Amino acid sequence: MADNGSDFTRSMGIATSGLRAQSGRMRVISENIANADSTAPTAGGDPYRRKVPTFSSALDRTLDAHVVALGQIMPDQSAFRVKYEPSNPAADASGNVKYPNVNPLIEMTDLRDAQRSYEANLNVITATRRMIQRTLDILKA
């Protein structure tokens, strides 16, 4: 028969790892959004490059369970947006200005997905805490 105490601990540990991973994902997305309209600090230089969070799975030996973690933050190698703005200080010799390869619509969609995943993990923790409390209430009676 399984030990319910360790099952509860394992559930909460796995959900907590999800909270941490999604929180990190939201931080990266926020950075992308904040830099969406920035330009290069020098004329003709490259602007901010969008970052893409990845996830990894690892065995947590204390929980004896696989947990998720924020993996490497990878640069998005897609092309920068280019606009002809010869009066802009960041313009190159041809008058073109490079803008980050950040699409705010994609970032907002990714942010909403991260929020939903975060909330789902939070719901697991809340439900597990309620089950633990109900179990203790039954054992007291």
Residue 42, both tokens: 């020098």
* Cβ count within 10 A of residue 102: 25
Nearest to 37 by CA among 95, 107, 87: 107
Compute CA 30 distance to the chain's CA centroid, rounded to the nearest angstrom: 9
Nearest to 52 by CA among 24, 18, 29: 29
Q: Find tokens 């309620």 and name the residue.
A: 130
Q: How far apart are CA 95 and CA 31, in angstroms?
A: 27
pLDDT(1) > 60: no
CB 92 within 8 A of CB 80: no
Express each pLDDT in 6-62 by its tens digit.
888 999 999 999 999 999 999 999 999 999 999 999 998 999 999 999 999 999 998
Q: Specify the pTM.
A: 0.86
pLDDT in the model for residue 6: 80
CB 103 within 8 A of CB 111: no
Q: Find tokens 């030990």 and name the residue.
A: 3
* Whole-angstrom Cα Rg for the chain: 22
Express each pLDDT in 42-52 by its tens digit.
998 999 999 99
